Structures are given as C-alpha cells and as structure tokens.
C-alpha cells in the first residue's frame, strides 16, 4: 500500500513543496501513525477520531497543521485509488485565527539604519555586510533563507534585480533600490573570498541562526528591544510600509513570492485606518452628508 514516503515524494515533485514543509508533514504523519499503533493508510474514521481527541491539549494552530497533513494524505490515497472512503470527516475542525505580523514603525526602521550605516562607515567587512543584509531584508522583502542562500551570481550587473529562489524552488526577480545597489558594491569590494555565496561562512553560506543573532545584536545597539527584530519582522515591515505608500496588493504578492494572494492579504490590516479615512472622505455619500 502507498504510504507516507510516497505522499511526501508527490508533494516534492508535483507541488514543489519546500524542504521544511516536507519535514513538518513527515513528522506529523509519522507521529500520528505511531499514536494510532498501525499503518496510517489503513486507519478507520473511528481511529482518526481517537487521534483527534489525543490532540485536544495542543495549541489550535498545531492541531490545525496536523489535521491538514492528514487530510492531504488521505486525499492523495483516494486520488491514487488506494482508498475509496475519506475517514478525515471524523477529525475535529479547530478554529484558528492567523496571527497578525509584528511590524516596525518607520522611526524604528530609521534607528536601525542609522546605527548600521554609522558602523559601516568604517568599511569593516562585518559592518558593511550587516548593512547590506539589512537593505535587502527591508528594501526587497527577502525571507531569511532566501537572503543567506543568495549565490554571488544572483547579484545584477546592469539590471536592478536580484534573482531569488523562494519556497518550493520557485525563482523570481526582486527589484533592489539604488541605495541597496551602492551598499552591495561596497560589500563586494570588502568581501575577500572566492566563495560562490554572496554571504559566505567558513563552511558554506551564513546560517539563518547567525543572521538572527546579528540582527538582534544590532537592535540592542540601536536601543530597540532585541525581541522585536528578526528577518521576518523586516519582511513584514517591507510589505506593510509599501501598502501604506499605496502599493497594489497584486504587485506586493509578486514581490513577496506568495503563491496565493490570500497570504498577502494579511498585510491589509495595517492599512485599515487609511482605508476607513479614504471611505469617509471620498465616498459620494460621505460628501453628501458633509454638504447637508
């Protein structure tokens, strides 16, 4: 019978699932199989119901992830003709609310850049590298993994774009600003290595963990709470501040590399006040009331 390994292989080849997604799904499915005490593909609705009951103490988001993995797994079995029934109707349906992203104010972003630019004025390699990474995280909205794994070949020569490989191995062109290009040039001038990576380390490229550490240290030096800063927070700030400036949601979806615009729509909450003001000031009925 087709099992978990075949399902994960399908996700990788047909849907282009990212490595972290495959690891998470594999872990959830194998844990479910271990809890049930028999082969996952052969479980009944009653057995799945017991699994759901066993997850009752988990956070709603964690339970939702596990249930999503199971629903997709059994859907795959049905598509492959391995099962005729779908036992996942017995699973609970936890209500989840996607958390709103943490954001930085314009003043906080300015404080970060002032600190990073002051330190980079010495042209020390480490300081110029940090400023370059900050420019690309906030100025282009890159994910942490996308940033640290940038090959040197991704750096443009004449065009104002980076070639970025995102989730699922999907490549996209990301525009970079004139100031980011200048900082990139400074970094390339002090980068003394023949590594194929833009941000190399001794064994390959800079790790995500090290990037987190560098940013939190920068936040402390800029008199900001270190817990407020991460690569993802800078990506959120990029999206939020673009929307505040009038960016189109579809354009933002492309810039962020979101496969589904529903993912991008989470950023619209930050512009709620501006939209309410827009309706109150510009809607014909609002103007009619004002003239009464």
Could you say which of 129, 191, 235, 236 is catalytic? 235
**Common-topology check for domains 4-90 and 106-274:** no
Strand partners, 200: 205
Please give the Cα distance from 259 to 41 (Å, whole number): 29
Identify the top-confidence range among 115-119, 199-203, 236-240, 282-286: 115-119
Give me the torsion for CA of 110, 130, 140, 171, rounded to 10°: -170
Tokens representing 30 are 């194998």
Structure tokens at 23: 């690891």
Give tens-digit pLDDT for 180-192.
889 999 999 999 8
Q: Which of 66, 143, 191, 205 is catalytic?
A: 143
Q: Is 90 exceeded by the pLDDT of residue 216?
A: yes
Q: Active-site residue among 102, 181, 208, 232?
A: 232
| Each residue's pLDDT tens digit, 23-59 | 989 999 999 999 988 899 899 999 988 888 888 888 8
Domain ranges for the chain: 4-90, 106-274
Round the average pLDDT of the chain to a whole number and report it. Answer: 83
Residues 6 or more apart from 288 whose CB is under 8 A from it?
A: none
| Residue 267 annotated to the active site | yes
Residue 167 is among the residues annotated as catalytic for this protein: yes
CATH topology of domain 106-274: hpI Integrase; Chain A (1.10.443)
Mark whether 283 is an active-site residue.
no
Q: What is the mean pLDDT of residues 164-186?
A: 82
What CATH number labels 4-90?
A: 1.10.150.130
Check 65, 71, 102, 167 and give the catalytic one: 167
241 carries an active-site annotation: no
Active-site residue flag, 74: no
The question of whether 232 is a catalytic residue gets the answer yes
Structure token pair of residue 247:
């960016």
- Structure confidence at residue 291 (pLDDT): 52
Task: Say yes or no to pLDDT of 127 above 90.
Answer: yes
**d(Cα 206, Cα 60) in Å, to the nearest integer?**
34
Pair 152, 198: CB distance under 8 Å: yes
Q: Which residue among 25, 74, 138, 267 is the active-site one?
A: 267
């Amino acid at each position: 019978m087709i099992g978990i390994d075949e399902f994960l292989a399908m996700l990788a080849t047909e849907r282009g699932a990212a490595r972290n997604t495959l690891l998470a799904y594999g872990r959830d499915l194998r844990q479910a199989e271990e809890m049930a005490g028999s082969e996952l593909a052969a479980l009944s609705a009653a057995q799945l119901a017991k699994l759901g009951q066993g997850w009752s103490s988990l956070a709603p988001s964690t339970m939702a992830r596990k249930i999503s993995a199971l629903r997709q797994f059994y859907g795959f079995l049905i598509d492959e003709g391995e099962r005729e029934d779908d036992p996942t109707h017995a699973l609970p349906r936890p209500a989840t609310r996607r958390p709103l992203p943490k954001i930085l104010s314009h003043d906080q972003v300015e404080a970060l850049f002032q600190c990073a630019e002051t330190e980079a004025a010495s042209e020390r390699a480490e300081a110029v590298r940090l400023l370059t990474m900050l420019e690309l995280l906030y100025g282009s909205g890159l994910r942490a993994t996308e940033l640290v794994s940038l090959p040197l070949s991704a750096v443009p020569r004449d065009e104002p774009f980076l070639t970025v490989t995102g989730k699922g191995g999907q490549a996209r062109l990301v525009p970079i600003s004139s100031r980011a290009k200048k900082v990139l040039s400074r970094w390339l001038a002090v980068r003394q290595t023949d590594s194929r990576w833009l941000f190399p380390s001794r064994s390959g490229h800079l790790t995500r963990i090290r990037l987190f550490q560098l940013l939190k240290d920068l936040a402390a030096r800029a008199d900001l709470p270190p817990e407020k800063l991460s690569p993802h927070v800078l990506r959120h700030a990029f999206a939020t501040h673009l929307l505040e400036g009038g960016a189109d949601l579809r354009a933002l979806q492309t810039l962020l590399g979101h496969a589904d615009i529903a993912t991008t729509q989470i950023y619209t909450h930050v512009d709620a006040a501006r939209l309410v003001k827009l309706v109150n000031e510009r809607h014909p009925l609002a103007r009619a009331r004002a003239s009464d």
